[in-house]
């Protein structure tokens, strides 16, 4: 019976050890991904082409929002006239 208890304890220990090892590997991978993202962002932010692209995207987004608002206002005006 004593050997059975020892095996169960070892089995439990192995389960915990494997779980912690996987956790450590996942955390390390997450740290590496975050560091890669930071390096990429820093590199892009130093790029004039990227900054120009970001500005263009912001302008396009503003134009899209303005167009949507105008369309919404027009639909609302037509709806109110129809009543």
Mean pLDDT per block of 10 residues along the chain (83 residues) reads 64 94 98 96 86 93 97 94 83
Please tell me the predicted confidence (pLDDT) of residue 44.
83
Instruction: Enter the pTM of the model.
Output: 0.49
Domain housing 21:
1-46
Please tell me the predicted confidence (pLDDT) of residue 1.
46
Please tell me the predicted confidence (pLDDT) of residue 7.
64
Same domain, 55 and 30: no
Rounded Cα distance, 81 and 45, in Å: 49
CA atoms within a 13 Å half-sphere pointing along the CA-CB vector of 71: 6
Please tell me the predicted confidence (pLDDT) of residue 5.
58
Number of domains in the chain: 2
Residue 46, phi then psi, degrees to nearest 5: -85, -10
Rounded Cα distance, 68 and 64, in Å: 6
Same domain, 60 and 25: no
Rounded Cα distance, 19 and 68, in Å: 51
Same domain, 56 and 76: yes
């Amino acid at each position: 019976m004593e050997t059975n208890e020892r095996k169960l304890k070892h089995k439990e220990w192995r389960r915990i050890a494997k779980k912690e090892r996987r956790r450590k590997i996942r955390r390390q991978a997450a740290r590496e991904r975050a560091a890669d993202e930071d390096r990429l962002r820093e590199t892009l932010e130093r790029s004039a082409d990227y900054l120009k692209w970001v500005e263009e995207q912001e302008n396009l987004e503003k134009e899209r929002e303005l167009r949507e608002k105008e369309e919404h206002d027009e639909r609302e005006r037509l709806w109110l006239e129809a009543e």
